[in-house]
Amino acid sequence: MDIRVFDGKKKLASFAADLFSEVIKNNARPVLGLATGASPIDTYKELIKRFNAGELSFKNVTTFNLDEYCGLPKNDKNSYYTFMMENLFDHVDIDLKNVNIPDGNAEDPEAYAKEYEEKIKAAGGIDIQLLGIGVNGHIGFNEPTDRFSEGTHVVKLTDSTIEANSRYFTDSEMPRYAVTMGVGSIMAAKKIVLIATGRAKAQAVFETVKGEVTPSCPASILQTHKDAILLLDKAAASLLK
């Protein structure tokens, strides 16, 4: 695992945007795996800046998002669909036909999850996957458990994740279930970029890097990926050494 520690979020985001720009420029049909949450926001801002400067086009880009809450209307202010439109897709030249965000309201969630997985494969697999990390070590919504998940599936969120994310649900109750790409789907990406900032992530980062590879810290599996890079600020890296 390659680990880089940055002096400030802006430098980190600029480095992450470099990695994504390289894949976008060097592939005829680039496939990006994307995340929501606080961690990727500055990277998306940086990519938008480069698009506005005429340095980058998303015309040929296909995207797959990691996850979505179950039971929220697609346009709810807390849906990951809304997040992605507001933080990236509304601001670049991507063809929305090539944007894939799991549907948290599928009639048959199991069949839908299979279809999502097939779609990733049909697109040629993910060239570069962006990840954040939960305070409990989750990636996507793959929560700590006793075995690594494989493909896209429905999960029950843990109390720790509900506690971390319920701050966004100021006037409605936070969903208890989500649909997420599995650890197997994430590990199939050719390159993985995980962003972690802030002291609250330090323990999870420590376990990811120095701990054993175990499903009780899902991110620890990145130790076994041949091209995974962790981009950290000093606070998130504070327990390493």
> Contacting ligand F6R (CB under 6 A), which of 132, 144, 175, 218?
132
Among the listed residues 117, 138, 165, 207, the single catalytic one is 138
115: three-class secondary structure by DSSP: helix
Helix axes 9-26, 41-52, angle to 10 degrees: 60
| Residue 66 is a binding residue for ligand F6R (CB under 6 A) | yes
Beta strands at 228-233 and 191-196: parallel, antiparallel or unpaired: parallel
Strands 191-196, 128-131: parallel, antiparallel or unpaired by DSSP?
parallel
Identify any residues that bridge with 233 across adjacent strands, giving them in sequence order: 6
Nearer to ligand F6R, 4 or 59 (CB): 4
In this complex, which beta carbon is closest to ligand F6R, that of residue 36 or of residue 220?
36
Q: CB of 200: closest distance to ligand F6R in angstroms? A: 8
Note whether 233 and 12 are within 8 A (CB). yes
Task: Classify residue 122 by burial, with Cβ atoms within 10 Å: 0-12, 13-18, 19+.
Answer: exposed
Is position 218 an interface residue for ligand F6R (rule: CB under 6 A)?
no
Question: Which position among 42, 46, 67, 233 is part of the footprint of ligand F6R (CB under 6 A)?
Answer: 67
Segment interacting with ligand F6R (CB under 6 A) among 2-10, 33-41, 182-190, 202-210: 33-41
Query: Catalytic residue numbers?
Result: 67, 136, 138, 143
Site residues (vs ligand F6R, CB under 6 A): 35-39, 66-67, 132-134, 138-141
